[in-house]
Amino acid sequence: MSATSKFVEARPWQRPWWKPAKNNFLTFIYMVVVHVLAIVGIILQLLGLAGVINYSLPSMTVVILTLILTFLGGLGTTVCYHRALSHRSLKLNKFIEHILIFFTILNGNGSPITWVANHREHHAKADTEEDISSPRHGGFWWAHLRWVYQWPGSDIKKWAPDIDRKQYHAWEKALPFLILVSLSWGLVFGWQGFFWLGAIRLVHSLHFQMVVNSVLHLSPGSVMGEDSSRNIWWLGPFQFGAWGENWHHNHHNAANVAKFSRSWAQIDIGWYSIVLMEKLGLAKDVRRPRVEKT
């Protein structure tokens, strides 16, 4: 292997943006398809609003279902994938855990095994050249989207041996089918349902969760060797069910606690959901910040 090839292999952001890692070709195709469909859907909606074509706004049923799926997918990401499985900051009732995994996959966030392995490696190597999604080294678009299909994937046995189990591998096998369902099932409500319940919803969820890797690691004035994570309050509403992920600096300062907010003014939907589940007996061993007495 040439010196140039070794350099590119060690720094995957040096690859052409259109060239996925060899085991991520289908992920790249998904990214292209979902963005193209979302753009088509938005253009059709705008033409309909302008009266150029006969294309009405989505029905209230479509709107409500889109919001529900977005919320549950975001909640699954922040509570199940992130706080429970990746950092073990709480234990979820197994039925609830797998329900949340189902909705997280429908939200386009991949299998729990891959997500957890990648995330744990990110924390272990944050802000270094070995960080899987560092904007400091790879730039904004690497951290925001490109790493998803150009990072070859973290070693499961090294980073996620505790969930390298049949129950989680089953979700990995079901993932392609569930993604196809997520993209297409809205067609039962017409073309508006197809686009809004499918690609538009998935693209929205993708970008407003990926800001955690990009925008929330772009601290102005941060220097090499310093933590680049930051809190941005106004991102919360856009993250919807994953609201709480926007307190990312809090999280990096204490990654093993389930509560990302640090004051009453910091809204944390994920944390409120955890407290509710704890009271209902659906979550236990919840790790709280040391400063919190209750």
Residue 254: predicted pLDDT? 97
Question: Which pLDDT score is estimated for 10?
Answer: 67
Confidence of residue 291 (pLDDT cuts 50, 70, 90): low
Rounded CA-CA distance 131/252 in Å is 14
Residues 6 or more apart in contact with residue 236 via CB below 8 angstroms: 243, 244, 246, 267, 269
Q: Average pLDDT, stretch 280-286?
A: 98
pLDDT tens for 141-190 read 999 999 999 999 999 999 999 999 999 999 999 999 999 999 999 999 99
Amino acid 257: pLDDT: 98
Could you tell me which of 252, 258, 287, 262 has the C-alpha nearest to residue 273?
Answer: 258
* pLDDT single digits (tens) 101-110: 999 999 999 9
Q: Which two tokens stand for residue 37?
A: 């469909």
Q: Model confidence over 13-43: pLDDT tens digits?
A: 999 999 999 899 999 999 999 999 999 999 9
pLDDT digits (tens, 9 = 90+) for 48-98: 999 999 999 999 999 999 999 999 999 999 999 999 999 999 999 999 999
Q: What is the largest CA-CA distance in the chain?
A: 60
Q: What is the pLDDT of residues 208-265, one digit of tens each?
A: 999 999 999 998 777 777 899 999 999 999 999 999 999 999 999 999 999 999 999 9
Q: Which two tokens stand for residue 15?
A: 């690859």
Coil, strand or helix at 92: strand
Q: What band does 2 get if pLDDT is binned at 50, 70 and 90?
A: very low
| pLDDT of amino acid 5 | 46
| Gap between the Cα atoms of 273 and 54, Å rounded | 42
At 115-129, the pLDDT tens digits run 999 999 999 999 999
For 114, the token pair is: 């891959």
pLDDT value at residue 247: 98
Angle 50-53-57 (CA atoms, 0-180°, nearest 5)? 70
Residue 113 and residue 168 in contact, taking contact as beta carbons nearer than 8 Å? yes
What's residue 293's pLDDT? 46
Residue 294's pLDDT is: 40
Measure Cα distances from 244 to 114, 122, 224, 279 in Å: 22, 19, 27, 20
Reported pTM: 0.94
List, for residues 41-54, the tens digit of each pLDDT value. 999 999 999 999 99
Cβ neighbourhood burial of 15 (10 Å; 0-12, 13-18, 19+)? middle
